[in-house]
Amino acid sequence: MSDRTTTHGATPLTPIGWADGAITVFIIALLFYGSSAWVAGRTGTPNLSYFDELADAFLKGRLDIPARDNPVDLTPAGGLWYVPFPPLPALVMLPWRVLGFRVNTVAFSVVFAAANVALLWSLLGVCRRRGLIDLGPGGRAWLAVLFAAGTVHWYVSVDGTVWYIAHIFTVCGAAAAACSAAAGKHPAMCGAFLALGMLARPHIALTWPLLYGLSRGARNTGAAWIAASLSPMAAAALVLLAYNAARFGDPLDFGYARQHVGPEVIGDLNQYGQFHPHFVARNLWAMLLALPAWDPKLHMYVPDPLGMSLLLTTPPVVYLAATLRSRGPLVLGAWVALLLLLVPLMLYYNTGWKQFGYRFSLDFVVPTMLLIASALRGWVNAAQKILIVVAVLVNAWGGAWFYFWKT
């Protein structure tokens, strides 16, 4: 179904493109991630999943989850334990529980991860038809492979723990919002998808400039568009404030300051707080400079669990440099969104902790993929294909380390 409404001087609106191979891409990605979960031994809900327990709590009219001996990353308040993270995954799981089914958080993660790949495929197709990128079908397939298997999205998709499934849902909201904006859909729809992402990781709201850039030329992006797109996001912010007030008595308290975090990071959290310039150098190092280290027990190089450079885990990010001189609305919107998203990530008190690569890069993976697509002119050449293959191999190695060898 397409929306044919146009505005004065605007490009005819483009269908989102689920009929343009996206269903096939979803099925392929579902099989890929499902088989990856099976190989990794992640076929059932893991410990530290939490959102399935939170869905059960919602079903019982409660906001807390049962106490445990080792309440990793939970927040105590009034003798109860709370999941401090925003509740979107639990809300999505809630209907499943209402119907009486058990929740497998890995299955939820795999399905939504596959949807993310299909959404990226659709987004690239819409941008191609709009003339925003010059990337043929073959290039589109290579970019889909890069996203699905050449970024940390691969290993994160099959984990099912509370932190990782939040990433998957956040990417889904951002990708759906970008796809809707590129297709010229109503601004309230674009904002609503991003608002859903905010209910998983609130700072994903900073992706909004990308939506504005994608909508330019497809709709009139004046004050009415801005207000309509921001309204659902404002509603999501109010939901989060009310959720905080109901849990902790303070709308601005997410519970992170009292979170039961590990001894390795509690000192920094207590001394500097959740966000502080003190952490910028460490986060930049984890994102851009961290290298593998030799493990004498395994007799091999292994990733640094504090993070590893994006230049190693996803080498095609080097092509972002090729877009720096572009003044097109897509590129400008993507760069503004990416830089805004980096602000809270660089100020944050930890790098992602005990991970492969830099998992927080998933917060800006949608603008990053669009910038790479903008840099690839018409086709993917041999050098670019080699970098994508290297990215897939590095992420296969990293996933194997994370699920089989990490101690």
Specify the amino acid at residue 251: P
Per-residue pLDDT for 30 more than 70?
Answer: yes
- Three-state secondary-structure class, residue 290: coil
Q: What is the pLDDT of residue 112?
A: 99
Q: Is the pLDDT of residue 15 over 80?
A: no
Within 13 Å, how many C-alpha atoms sit on residue 332's CB side? Answer: 8
What pLDDT was estimated at residue 406?
74
Residue 3 has pLDDT above 60, yes or no: no
The residues facing 275 across adjacent strands are 348
**Top-confidence residue, 13 or 116:** 116
DSSP structure class, residue 207: G
Q: Inform me whether the pLDDT recorded for 1 exceeds 60.
A: no
CA 212, CA 231: separation in Å to the nearest integer? 14
pLDDT attached to residue 16: 54
DSSP per-residue letters across 244-286 = HHHHHS-TT--SGGG----HHHHHHHHHH-SB-GGGHHHHHII
Domain ranges of the chain: 18-405
C-alpha distances in Å from residue 187, one per residue of 129, 131, 184: 20, 20, 8
**What is the reported pLDDT for 407?**
62
Is 254's pLDDT higher than 90? yes
* Nearest C-alpha neighbor of 121 from the set 194, 11, 18: 18
Euclidean distance between CA atoms 35 and 396, whole angstroms: 13
Tokens 């089914």 belong to 101
19 contacts 10 by C-beta, under 8 angstroms:
no
Q: What pLDDT sits at residue 178?
A: 98
Tokens 């504005």: give the residue: 212
Q: What is the pLDDT of residue 378?
A: 75
Reference 204, options 153, 167, 259; nearest CA is 167
Burial label, 37 (beta-carbon count in 10 A; 0-12, 13-18, 19+):
buried
101 versus 218: the higher-pLDDT residue is: 101
Residue 169 and residue 88 in contact, taking contact as beta carbons nearer than 8 Å = yes
pLDDT score for 2? 34
Identity of residue 58? F
318: exposed, middle or buried (C-beta count within 10 Å: 0-12, 13-18, 19+)?
A: middle
Lowest pLDDT segment from 9-23, 42-56, 319-333: 9-23
- Read off the DSSP letter of residue 324: T
Q: What percent of the chain has pLDDT over 70?
A: 95
The chain-wide mean pLDDT, for the chain, equals 93
Residue 39 in this model has a pLDDT that exceeds 70: yes
Q: How far is CA 170 from the centre of its chain?
A: 4
At 92 the three-state DSSP class reads helix
CB atoms near residue 79 (< 10 Å): 7
- 3-state DSSP: the chain helix, strand, coil percent, rounded to 5? 65, 5, 30
Q: What does the pLDDT read at residue 327?
A: 87
Beta-carbon contacts of residue 232 (< 8 Å; ≥ 6 apart)? 188, 191, 192, 194, 195
Summarised one tens digit per residue, pLDDT across range 92-134 is 999 999 999 999 999 999 999 999 999 999 999 999 999 999 9
Which pLDDT score, from 0 to 100, does residue 322 have? 94
Q: How far apart are CA 366 and CA 59, in angstroms?
A: 33
Q: Is the dihedral of CA 255, 260, 263, 267 positive or negative?
A: positive
| pLDDT, position 45 | 95
Judge contact between 372 and 322, C-beta under 8 A.
Answer: no
Cβ contact 36:158 at 8 Å: yes
